[in-house]
Amino acid sequence: MGADEVWRGDVRDVRDPSELLGRAIRYEGRVWRVVTDAIRLPDGTEVERDIVDHPGAVGIVALDDDDRVLLIRQYRQPVGGYLFELPAGLRDVVGEHPWATAQRELLEESGYVARDWHVLLDFFNSPGGSTEAFRCYLARGLTEVNGGRPATGEAEEAHLPRVWVDLDAAVDLALRGDLHNPTTVTGVLAAASARERGWSTLRPAGVDMWVLPDP
């Protein structure tokens, strides 16, 4: 390893996009598209990278007064099975703040509204090949709306059985390999870690997300 491969700066992700030389759309789907970016790296090397251009998503750790987390059971065709997941959804409404998306998704997928909202963590779901930026919220002070969740889902989202799981038990399920959804695994572990720190790591719900460079 050369001397130039030892990092001596701050350990913090920063925005610093390479020069975009061109973009070709390979596939245009209902939710996302696949593009090929031609870029020039800092050393002058020109390369092409295939990228899933994704609108991003949010998830919600809904925690009740007994420190139980709400999970829903949903079928996922790409993995051919049913996964237990946190309420979550795509950021597919133009101009909608991720916090507003999270409030809407919690209601639509669980029938609950929350009084207290905070940011737990942000991450890129697969930064080697996708633009999907993800934010996970902590929602507390829960109230179930009259009549339960609205009938807004279809197909896989038409029937979403729910279960309340003790947060410590949910951590055990994740570490044991019984939970596989990345939203659920990261959200549950983040919530448990934040609780151990007296919730001191929580951020305001309205804080801005990482902004991707324009194409």
CA distance 213 to 215: 6
DSSP classification of residue 67: S
Strand partners, 49: 37
**Annotated active-site positions, please?**
157
Q: Are 185 and 175 contacting, i.e. CB atoms less than 8 angstroms apart?
A: no
Q: Are 55 and 215 contacting, i.e. CB atoms less than 8 angstroms apart?
A: no
CA distance 26 to 50: 9
Q: Are 91 and 168 contacting, i.e. CB atoms less than 8 angstroms apart?
A: no
Cβ neighbours of 27 (radius 10 Å):
11
- Of 100, 82, 118, whose CA–CA distance to 199 is shortest? 118
Cβ neighbours of 199 (radius 10 Å):
13
Half-sphere exposure of 54 (CA within 13 A, CB side): 19
DSSP classification of residue 130: B
CA distance 166 to 31: 34
